[in-house]
Amino acid sequence: MAGASSQSEKVPVVMLKSGSDGTAADSGADSIQDAPEEDEEDENDEREEYKDLINLRNSIKYFDSAAGDGNTMMSPLSLNYALGLLGAGARGETKKEIDAYLGTDDFLRETIAFRKRFSELNYADSSEGRNGYEQVFKIANSLWINSRVCSLNKDYAGHVSTMYGAVINSPDFSDHTGVAALVNNWCNEKTRGLIPSVITADNVSDDSAAILANSVYFESPWCESWDFNENQKEHFRLPDGKSMELAYMNTNGSCYLANDKADAFTCDYMDGLEFIGILPKKEGEFTLEELDIPELIHSSPKECDKLLVKMPRLNFSTEIDAKAALKKSGVRTMFTQKADFSYFSNDPLSVSDAIQKTKLELDENGTKAAAVTVMMMKNTSLSPEEMNPTIVRVYLTRPFAFVIYDPQLDEVIFLGKVNDPSSAG
């Protein structure tokens, strides 16, 4: 097992990216397919499981293509919702590529499962929290339409309003600063201030046709708080081999997971989600794909008598060029003039830019994490054992990855990688 030294230790991996320090209208389109009944049974569980693995593997490839030298975090769930909003208005090759990334041609079925799950996760009453953390899990969707250059199809508008809970707005897009402020105010509100802005006036132009946005906000205390001593510091080995001193959080892990690439532990949140810390067995640079995270998180827990885990506090933000990462992941047509969003509008539209911002605050008492994904669209006609107990130690004392995971829905909410815990943003 890998560790901070040559001792046999196990450590989790975290996927996160640090900051700059490096360390409505026309209904001419075909009708959108009716939503499936909420009580409709899944006829093929194996196919659904395979679909989930496709999307997780695609998310990991996306992450690796976007990760820089610092800390990185992305939200597969937020990106999936933004793509789901686009896919509901797409046809032809545009829709095929979106569906291939999502691993399903029926993402609406996923949203129905999410809505049921959210009712269990959303405990906004602070009395359900602890040590300053509430139990909250919120997803929101919104569209801002430039009615001068985009006629939104009524069927699409009704579909995303009803099935995605999307709020549709029609501001004056000639006021670039005003539109950016509207989007950023929404972003700030939905993430409870963790992500105060996502675009600037420069992202808005007169030929901007629409802005689609999804937000994910997660907050929960741990089931058991970690121990933390600010004055007790230990080494964290950086990717370049140098070391820095940090104060660590310590606790007993819930489950020990391992494959031939990594050791991992789980720690439980009060709302039922899990934090999975992953430590590569090989020291030095790594990618998430190399760790085979899908196999790792679906493997059976390994036996041990005691699981001791350690990790630093985390506080950082990430901005990912989602357009570039999606193109590398095979989602390309929607960024070109060949894009077909004829369920969305009769006007010729493409995606001009795609952005995801995330923020993580994690300490000994709990976690807050947020993500916002924005898709900017333009009108293309105008211009992306007991004596000898087995003790396992997973100490995150060198670069690691992490997952915030819903075991009930088998859904990865956030992926992260930490190279320098001291960096903040």
Q: Which domain holds residue 398?
A: 227-314+387-409
Q: Amino acid letter at 129?
A: G
- pLDDT, one tens digit per residue, over 126-153 is 455 678 899 899 999 999 999 999 999 9
CATH of the domain at 208: 3.30.497.10
If asked whether residues 112 and 152 sit together in one domain, one would say yes
- In-domain check, residue 425: no
Question: Is residue 125 within 8 Å of residue 139, measured between CB atoms?
Answer: no
If asked whether residues 269 and 180 sit together in one domain, one would say no
If asked whether residues 145 and 286 sit together in one domain, one would say no
What pLDDT is recorded for position 46?
46
- pLDDT, one tens digit per residue, over 227-240 is 999 988 999 998 88
- pLDDT, one tens digit per residue, over 26-82 is 333 333 444 444 444 444 454 455 456 889 999 999 999 999 888 999 999 999 999
If asked whether residues 193 and 215 sit together in one domain, one would say yes
Q: What is the pTM of this model?
A: 0.83
pLDDT at 11 over 80: no
- In-domain check, residue 185: yes
What pLDDT is recorded for position 33?
41
Here the tokens at position 110 are 């996923």
If asked whether residues 134 and 193 sit together in one domain, one would say yes
- In-domain check, residue 27: no
Question: Is residue 400 within 8 Å of residue 314, measured between CB atoms?
Answer: no
- pLDDT, one tens digit per residue, over 84-117 is 999 999 999 999 999 999 999 888 888 888 777 7
- In-domain check, residue 174: yes
- In-domain check, residue 43: no
The CA-to-CA distance between both ends of the chain, in Å, stands at: 32
What pLDDT is recorded for position 424?
67
- In-domain check, residue 401: yes
* % helix, strand, coil for the chain, step of 5: 25, 35, 40
CB neighbourhood size of 417 (10 A): 28
Of 194, 203, 199, the residue nearest 183 (C-alpha): 199
If asked whether residues 301 and 184 sit together in one domain, one would say no
What pLDDT is recorded for position 113?
80
Of 312, 294, 325, the residue nearest 74 (C-alpha): 325
If asked whether residues 333 and 294 sit together in one domain, one would say no
- Which segments within 198-261 are labelled E, that is strand? 208-221, 227-237, 243-252, 255-258
CATH of the domain at 242: 2.30.39.10
If asked whether residues 231 and 217 sit together in one domain, one would say no
- pLDDT, one tens digit per residue, over 181-232 is 999 999 999 999 999 999 999 999 988 999 999 999 999 999 999 999 998 8
- In-domain check, residue 25: no
Question: Is residue 211 within 8 Å of residue 184, measured between CB atoms?
Answer: no
User: What is the count of structural domains for the chain?
Assistant: 2
- Mean pLDDT, rounded, for 14-22: 31
Q: Classify 20 in phi/psi space as left (phi over 0), alpha (psi -120 to 50) or beta.
A: alpha
- Mean pLDDT, rounded, for 289-300: 93
DSSP 3-state assignment of 110? Answer: helix
What pLDDT is recorded for position 177?
96
If asked whether residues 63 and 156 sit together in one domain, one would say yes
Here the tokens at position 194 are 């963790």
Cα(122)–Cα(108) distance, integer angstroms: 21
Confidence of residue 7 (pLDDT cuts 50, 70, 90): very low
Determine how β-strand 306-312 pairs with β-strand 391-395. parallel
- In-domain check, residue 70: yes
- pLDDT, one tens digit per residue, over 305-344 is 899 999 999 999 999 999 999 999 999 999 999 999 999 9
Here the tokens at position 125 are 């009453």
Q: Which residue has the higher pLDDT, 421 or 144?
A: 144
What pLDDT is recorded for position 370?
97
Radius of gyration of the chain (CA): 22
Here the tokens at position 228 are 């933390």
Q: What does the DSSP 8-state code read for residue 103?
A: T
Cα(85)–Cα(291) distance, integer angstroms: 31
- Mean pLDDT, rounded, for 357-375: 97
If asked whether residues 168 and 113 sit together in one domain, one would say yes
If asked whether residues 173 and 96 sit together in one domain, one would say yes
If asked whether residues 71 and 184 sit together in one domain, one would say yes
Confidence of residue 21 (pLDDT cuts 50, 70, 90): very low
What pLDDT is recorded for position 9?
39
What pLDDT is recorded for position 118?
73
